[in-house]
């Protein structure tokens, strides 16, 4: 199936309220899914006979934000965080990219992580990928069985891949910067 | 004299079977780097394994956001430091796909040649280190003797022995040298004069002629060794569904019987490189497996790697034949300050340890908005907890070793 067919199938199944956008002209065509329905859509993507997207190639977060005010005008994106799911199927040999867009901070309060439902119940590897995304990008995957830091130290503060992240000046007596 | 109950000669042993938490690593020789496994043991039986990662974390992805892709290449060397060339290749291809760059035939053949040679070196370490995990030292020494020659050859080609940064956006930094002094290891093994001069391609050819008959010896020494089979066959069985669910790739996936190799089934920009080459994908089950071997066990994963060495030798030989007549240059010029288009690209390539993915989001700037390296070992390590449950403590290195992880790549 190509990306257009997958998109049509998803829109038929879930309606355009839950399949909120798409870009089929992109190098990797992507479909945007509303955050609240990602788990349901994922389950469909994995189990439906026509799709069988059983391999989660990659799951990561992208912070769309330009901290420099001078450059912000040219940035071309509204500030938001994207969670990107790269999927492929061993059976049908097709692939698709799914995106979930959430605000950078929940309720616009800096420090409150945006919430995305976990898909670790659908693909087991999502467990670790989501922990990494939580750790580095700062997305709260609700319903995750063990959402703890995986690469940074347990007591690390902040999420390094946020564009406005400030490197700590000191960590347990080790000077930074 | 009546025996009293408080006879001092009777020693009562207090045999309790309390659960105990054992930290295996981070400085443990058979965890292949700084991996800490928290084991909940009951006597010798391991009931629970919790891997703790991050001891080598450098946040290479954050660094990648602040550098142009070409500047990030040296950092990819240091991810999977046993297969630097393959990492360079994966990253370069992702950038080339994003900016729409076409490579001449010569650069493509050179890349196949170099990447497959590095695959041999990497699998040799995998083989040697796995033997070491299981308590046999000799294969390790042989593996490193052979690998040394490959490293010498790479040093002649690009100047570095481990962190090459040789394959870059647009091809490779240099063409292969016309004449080189024979690598000392090769001279002594093949009884040639150490002052001999020959072309780089001849040296590779000579090395492969010497290496090929040795593979059979490794099989006798390790693969068919009775103790080795006892310790690997039927242990750590990863079935097909679990392997896919955990996103395992590379030899781990093929050891579980999934016929999938990105060099054949991957993105067109990658599979195009291997067009016209005659080779096979090594995938379990094997006809010549010992009776005890089960699909998806340690032995199968190990044997996939050994078969891949044989296939890589075939590929390198064909590349050597093609290289002198290949058209074009070894590289097309690429400016470091090339702006990335407002698009994104995710590309996976078949590294020795599995599918290494690079994801770039461009935003019309030189530096990418997001540079992501999806590690193959990260996913291959994820099923450890399932695989090791209920095993003897001594079998943990056998299982973890068979996954062939490199912590530099997992922690990035």
Where along chain A do its domains lie?
A: 3-175
User: Strand B19-24's sheet: what is its strand order?
Assistant: B19-24, B36-42, B45-52
Q: How far is CA B143 from CA B122, B125, B184, in A?
A: 10, 6, 16
pLDDT (mean) for B127-150: 89
B185 backbone dihedrals φ, ψ, rounded to 5°: -60, -40
Residue B19: burial class (beta carbons within 10 Å; 0-12, 13-18, 19+)? exposed
Please name the member of B53, B59, B374 whose beta carbon is closest to the beta carbon of A58: B374
Answer yes or no: do A60 and B355 touch at CB < 8 A. Answer: no
Report d(CA B171, CA B174) in Å as an integer: 9
- CA-based nearest residue in chain A for residue B61: A161
Answer yes or no: do B412 and A160 touch at CB < 8 A. Answer: no
Instruction: Kindly give the confidence (pLDDT) of every residue in chain A, 177 residues in length, as a single tens digit, with 9 standing for 90 and above.
Output: 888 888 888 888 888 888 888 888 888 899 999 888 898 899 998 998 888 899 999 999 999 988 888 887 788 888 889 999 999 999 888 889 999 999 988 887 877 899 999 998 999 999 999 999 999 998 999 999 989 999 988 888 889 998 888 888 888 888 876
pTM: 0.87
Report d(CA B222, CA B12) in Å as an integer: 45
Q: Is the pLDDT of residue B194 over 80?
A: yes
Q: Collect all residues of chain A within an 8 Å Cβ-Cβ radius of residue B345.
A: 27-28
**Model confidence over B14-25: pLDDT tens digits?**
666 678 888 887
A102 backbone dihedrals φ, ψ, rounded to 5°: -135, 160
Q: Which of B72, B70, B44 is nearest to B58 (CA)?
A: B72
Contact A66, A75 (CB under 8 A): yes
Q: What is the DSSP string of B28-86?
A: -GGGSSS-EEEEEEETTEEEEEEEE--TT---HHHHHHTS-HHHHHHHHHTTSTT-HHH
* Per-residue model confidence (pLDDT) at position B170: 86
Report d(CA A146, CA A90) in Å as an integer: 28
Q: Where are the beta strands (DSSP E) in A24-120?
A: 30-33, 55-64, 80-88, 95-102, 115-117
Query: Is A36 within 8 Å of chain B by CB?
Result: no
Helix (H) or strand (E) holding B345: strand B344-351
* Per-residue model confidence (pLDDT) at position A174: 86
- CA-based nearest residue in chain A for residue B66: A163
- CA-based nearest residue in chain B for residue A46: B245
The rounded percent of chain B whose pLDDT value lies above 90 is 29
Residue A174: burial class (beta carbons within 10 Å; 0-12, 13-18, 19+)? exposed
Measured in angstroms, the CA of A125 and the nearest CA of chain B are apart by 4
Answer yes or no: do B53 and A150 touch at CB < 8 A. Answer: yes
CATH superfamily for domain B22-176+202-411: Cytochrome-c3 Hydrogenase, chain B (1.10.645.10)
Architecture of domain A3-175: 2-Layer Sandwich (3.30)
Q: Which of A124, A33, A143, A40 is nearest to A83 (CA)?
A: A33
Report d(CA A7, CA A22) in Å as an integer: 8
Other residues' Cβ atoms within 10 Å of the Cβ of residue B329: 17
Query: Is A149 within 8 Å of chain B by CB?
Result: yes
Q: Collect all residues of chain B within an 8 Å Cβ-Cβ radius of residue A152.
A: 54, 57
Report d(CA B70, CA B345) in Å as an integer: 16
CB pairs under 8 A between A and B: 91
Query: Is B270 within 8 Å of chain A by CB?
Result: no
Helix (H) or strand (E) holding B358: strand B354-361
Q: How far is CA B243 from CA B253, B276, B293, B299, in A?
A: 6, 31, 18, 16
Contact A149, A135 (CB under 8 A): yes
Answer yes or no: do B357 and A161 touch at CB < 8 A. Answer: no
Report d(CA B137, CA B132) in Å as an integer: 5
Report d(CA A126, CA A43) in Å as an integer: 13
User: Strand A95-102's sheet: what is its strand order?
Assistant: A19-23, A30-33, A95-102, A80-88, A55-64
* Per-residue model confidence (pLDDT) at position B285: 87
Measured in angstroms, the CA of A39 and the nearest CA of chain B are apart by 16
Contact B333, B267 (CB under 8 A): no
Q: Is the pLDDT of residue B8 over 70?
A: no
Answer yes or no: do B363 and A76 touch at CB < 8 A. Answer: yes
Q: Where are the domains of chain B?
A: 22-176+202-411
* Per-residue model confidence (pLDDT) at position B31: 64
ipTM of the complex: 0.90
Other residues' Cβ atoms within 10 Å of the Cβ of residue B124: 27
* Per-residue model confidence (pLDDT) at position B137: 86
Comparison of pLDDT for B13 and A80, the residue scoring more? A80
**Model confidence over B354-397: pLDDT tens digits?**
899 999 998 888 899 999 999 999 999 999 888 888 888 888 88
Tell which of B95, B248, B379, B403 to mutate to test the A interface (max A CBs under 10 Å).
Answer: B379
Answer yes or no: do A93 and B265 touch at CB < 8 A. Answer: yes
Contact B69, B340 (CB under 8 A): yes
Q: Is the pLDDT of residue B11 over 70?
A: no
Answer yes or no: do B357 and A58 touch at CB < 8 A. Answer: yes
Report d(CA B65, CA B75) in Å as an integer: 12
pLDDT (mean) for B153-160: 90
Report d(CA A35, CA A83) in Å as an integer: 9
Q: Collect all residues of chain B within an 8 Å Cβ-Cβ radius of residue A70.
A: none
Q: Collect all residues of chain B within an 8 Å Cβ-Cβ radius of residue A151.
A: 53-54, 57, 59, 411-412
Report d(CA B159, CA B385) in Å as an integer: 41
Taking all residues of chain B, what is their mean pLDDT, rounded to a whole number?
87
Query: Is A166 within 8 Å of chain B by CB?
Result: no
């Amino acid at each position: 199936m190509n990306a257009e067919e997958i998109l049509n199938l998803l829109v038929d199944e879930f309606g355009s309220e839950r399949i909120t956008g798409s870009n089929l002209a992109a190098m990797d065509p992507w479909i945007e899914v509303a955050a609240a329905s990602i788990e349901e859509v994922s389950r469909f993507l994995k189990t439906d006979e026509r799709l069988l997207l059983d391999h989660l190639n990659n799951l990561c977060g992208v912070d769309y934000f330009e901290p420099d005010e001078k450059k912000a005008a040219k940035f071309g994106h509204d500030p938001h965080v994207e969670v990107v799911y790269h999927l492929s199927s061993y059976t049908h040999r097709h692939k698709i990219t799914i995106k979930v867009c959430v605000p950078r901070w929940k309720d616009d309060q800096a420090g409150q992580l945006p919430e995305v439902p976990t898909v670790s119940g659908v693909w087991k590897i999502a467990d670790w990928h989501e922990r990494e995304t939580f750790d580095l990008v700062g997305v709260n995957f609700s319903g995750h069985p063990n959402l703890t830091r995986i690469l940074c130290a347990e007591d690390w503060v902040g999420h390094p891949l946020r564009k406005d992240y400030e490197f700590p000046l000191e960590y347990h007596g080790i000077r930074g910067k | 004299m009546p025996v009293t109950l408080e006879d001092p000669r009777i020693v009562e042993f207090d045999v309790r079977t309390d659960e105990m938490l054992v930290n295996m690593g981070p400085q443990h020789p058979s965890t292949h780097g700084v991996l800490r496994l928290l084991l909940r043991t009951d006597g010798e039986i391991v009931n629970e394994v919790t891997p703790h990662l991050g001891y080598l974390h450098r946040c290479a992805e954050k660094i990648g956001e602040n550098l142009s892709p070409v500047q990030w290449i040296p950092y990819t060397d240091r991810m999977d430091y046993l297969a630097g060339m393959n990492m360079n290749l994966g990253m370069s291809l992702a950038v080339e796909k994003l900016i729409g760059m076409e490579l001449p035939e010569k650069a493509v053949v050179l890349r196949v040649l170099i990447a497959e040679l590095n695959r041999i070196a990497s699998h040799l370490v995998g083989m040697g280190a796995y033997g070491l995990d299981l308590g046999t030292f000799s294969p390790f020494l042989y593996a490193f003797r052979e690998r040394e020659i490959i490293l010498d050859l790479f040093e002649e080609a690009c100047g570095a022995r481990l962190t090459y940064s040789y394959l870059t956006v647009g091809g490779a930094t240099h063409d292969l040298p016309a004449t080189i002094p024979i690598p000392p290891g090769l001279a002594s093994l093949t009884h040639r004069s150490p002052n001999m001069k020959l072309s780089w391609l001849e040296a590779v050819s000579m090395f492969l002629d010497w290496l090929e008959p040795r593979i059979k010896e490794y099989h006798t020494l390790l693969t068919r060794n009775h103790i080795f089979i006892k310790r690997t066959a039927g242990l750590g069985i990863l079935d097909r569904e679990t392997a896919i669910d955990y996103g395992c790739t590379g030899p781990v996936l093929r050891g579980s019987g999934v016929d999938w190799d990105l060099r054949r089934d991957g993105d067109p920009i990658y599979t195009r490189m291997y067009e016209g080459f005659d080779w096979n994908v090594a995938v379990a089950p094997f006809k010549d497996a010992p009776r005890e071997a089960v699909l998806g066990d340690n032995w199968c994963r190990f044997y996939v790697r050994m078969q891949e060495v044989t296939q890589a030798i075939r590929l390198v030989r064909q590349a050597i034949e093609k290289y002198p007549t290949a058209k074009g240059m070894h590289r097309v010029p690429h400016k470091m300050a090339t702006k990335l288009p407002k698009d994104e690209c995710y590309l996976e390539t078949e590294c020795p340890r599995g599918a290494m993915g690079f994801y770039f989001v461009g935003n019309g700037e030189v530096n990418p908005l997001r540079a992501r390296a999806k590690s193959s070992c990260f996913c291959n390590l994820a099923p450890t907890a399932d695989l090791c449950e209920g095993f003897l403590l001594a079998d943990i290195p056998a299982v973890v070793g068979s996954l062939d992880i490199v912590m530099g790549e997992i922690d990035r």
